Structure 1
Amino acid sequence: MDDTAPRRRLIGLSTKMYFSLQRTREFTNSFLAKLADVPAERLSHIDIFVIPDFISLTTTIAQLESSSVPIWAGAQNCHWEDQGAFTGEVSPSVLRSAGVKLVEVGHAERRRIFGEDDAKIAKKAAAVSRNGMMPLVCIGEETRGDVHVAVDECRVQVDAVMSAVPDEQEVILAYEPVWAIGASQPAGEKHILDVVAGIRELESVRRRTGMTRVLYGGSAGPGLYERLKSGLDGLFLGRFGHDPEQFVRTIQEVAGA
């Protein structure tokens, strides 16, 4: 793929398991009201997504449909099979039929707490893509250190996913250094840009004909994207974005950077 071709910027957030059902409804309503005050033309060149918990998902999708600006609904996880005896799991086929546009897989918490390895994450990414959705794959090194070490750690994660997803399908990579998740400050801008440049140079990424967008997602907040716009396609917000006003403010920063 010609990596000089323009890629639409992308910004969104996950509510993880922080919100009650009522708070998710209130957050979405407040976010939509504040976003409606932003001129649509200013948002015409970016994609926006919201990833709520599973119980809130269909309600959130219905709320997002009222927006004059297209907003994608995402899911926080899925199984790698479309159906079967997998009690408690969520089918990617069902997510697609519900109106989900992208599915997050491979978050550091899923890897650490639930023991998901690269092979399992690759199967999930393939299932997401197979069902006509975009996999948003979280990648990142465990410990703070050298850029080359970070790229090598990410390489294993990226190669596994890219070997499972057809080259022509879009993939979103969310670079989240594990040591920066939940931290008071994100990783240094030079570190982020150097690691992302290394990720883009990976053979498994360069050979693809489908779009590969790269976001930053480790303690991301206002003012950060202006310093990262030369190498990043957008931001994946965590708790900072749980304030609707701050979320919309950061969307405008990404749109206008």
Structure 2
Amino acid sequence: MNDPGAMRASDAEREAAVELLRVASVEGRLTLGELTERTEAAYSAVTRAELVVVTSDLPQAGQAPMPAPAQAPAEQQGRTRRWFVAVMGDSKRRGKWRIDKPLGAVAVMGDVVLDLRQAEVRSGVVDIVATAVMGDVKIIVPDGVDVDLDGIAIMGDKKVQVVEAPPGMTVPLIRVKAYAVMGDVKVIGDSRAEPVKKAWAAWREQWREMRGELLGEPRHLPPPPLLNRGPHPEQPSAQAPYPHEHYPRQPFDPDQPLRPRDDGRWQERQWQDRRERGH
């Protein structure tokens, strides 16, 4: 009898898993980076078992979700916007934070940085108005999202440097309206930003093992530890055998100057000879 988990996943099952991820993000269970990573894994899943792993720690369809926090009416949310302003200074927002309303960024002879990768996004669209006047506005997003950048640039620049998802995928949308006057508005992805530390996730390791077995890839083992080394890998330990014993010893001449080599091993060998001979 065939294993149900080994059966091939259908497009409808992949879309159902992606919708489950989207709902979990709206409920605050996933950050934008986690949502993007799991969405990519769901779309690339081949078997049903892989889809189960991607959503294993989330409430399944039909289960009663936790009560959602009270939200303001849609009309009120449309009139409000959370602002980040820098005038001849810096304004940065990183780490864990919640995005439940449109954002605004204004940089006047200053810098504004909005890092959305670890933010909890309560909707499928993040709306941002960015204004840079002789300043810079940088918006960091996880690779794999869709970015819609619009606006004007006068003696300035507005650009997107994000590895976006292939067409046809249901992924979060980052919509940016940019106004740059002698300034820059940039939307950059993980590949061009300082990486963030990802928390250990059991689903990720299990999913990679399943993918490796399915594709016949060997498991990647960690490299063996260095033996006979001191606290600094560049220097041999005093108790350990000399690591370059395969280099032959040469007659020692105290009047001969040390001859530098590209790798420095010959010079290090002569210093070892002098220590052993008491010079």
Q: TM-score, normalised on structure 2?
A: 0.22
Q: TM-score, normalised on structure 1?
A: 0.23
Q: Whose Rg is larger?
A: 2
Greater share of helix? 1
Greater share of strand? 2
